[in-house]
Amino acid sequence: MPGKSKGKIILAVGLPGSGKSTYFARRGIQPLSTDALRLWLLDDETDQSHAAYIFGTLRNLLKIRLKLGRRVTYLDATNLGPVERRPFFRIAKHYGYDVEAIFFDVPFEICCRRNRTRPHPVPQHAMERMAKKLIPPAAEEGFSRIRVVKTSGLRSAGQSKLL
Ligand SMILES: Nc1ncnc2c1ncn2[C@@H]1O[C@H](COP(=O)(O)OP(=O)(O)OP(=O)(O)O)[C@@H](O)[C@H]1O
Ligand SMILES: [Mg+2]
């Protein structure tokens, strides 16, 4: 039926350390995840090589979920800018789905601090490169809904707020 959405694709948007995976885990959500694919395909979730395989596999898994009629699919990846996000709009349109965003609007310093405490931190120069690439999701890209998850101030982890 034209115009009627079959469901939605929900893109996380946020820097490393902005809390994307934690947000999903706390809600018992199993997103499609580039880090999980890196682990499965490259044995290392921090390995940034073979991007074409990683993102190609992500898109293929998404397409299969949509073909199977899954109503909601979450994507856990940084999805930093419109160029990275555009393929998901193309797929959504083809299969008749809406696209939503959850923007993890967390100050760069907090992302860096959380990143440093992780077992395999993203190198600081890569954090800076990614921060420059980050463009918040905008309705003009085609999102039917944009949610924002904020972390209040430069305080301790315990003071962070999750929506
Ligand atoms: N709301 C929060 N308050 C405090 N600490 C948090 C919060 N969310 C995540 N963290 C911590 O920050 C670190 C990074 O979080 P997480 O792995 O969820 O980030 P990510 O956005 O998935 O990063 P990546 O893009 O690298 O996968 C973890 O150590 C996590 O425990
Ligand atoms: Mg993550």
Higher pLDDT, residue 157 or 133: 133
Higher pLDDT, residue 158 or 41: 41
What is the tens place of the pLDDT at every residue in 98-112?
A: 999 999 999 999 999
Cα-Cα-Cα-Cα dihedral sign, residues 109, 113, 118, 124? positive
Q: How confident is the model at residue 25 (pLDDT cuts 50, 70, 90)?
A: very high
In the predicted structure, residue 40 carries a pLDDT above the cut 60: yes
pLDDT value at residue 159: 39
pLDDT value at residue 151: 82
CB neighbourhood size of 92 (10 A): 24
In the predicted structure, residue 54 carries a pLDDT above the cut 70: yes
Q: How confident is the model at residue 162 (pLDDT cuts 50, 70, 90)?
A: very low
Pocket test for ligand 1, best of 11, 13, 15, 21 (most atoms within 8 A of CB): 21
Sheet of strand 72-76: strand arrangement: 32-33, 72-76, 8-13, 98-105, 145-150
Among 134, 145, 149, residue whose Cα is nearest residue 10: 145
- How many percent of the chain have pLDDT more than 90? 89
For atom 14 of ligand 1, the residue with the nearest CA is 17
Q: Is the CB of 126 under 6 A from ligand 1?
A: no
How large is the average pLDDT for residues 99-127? 96
| 8-152 CATH | 3.40.50.300
Please calculate the CA angle 113-116-119 and round it to the nearest 5 degrees. 140
> How far does CA 85 lie from the centroid of its chain?
9
pLDDT value at residue 6: 96
What is the SS3 assignment for 75? strand
Q: Is the CB of 46 under 6 A from ligand 1?
A: no
pLDDT value at residue 1: 52
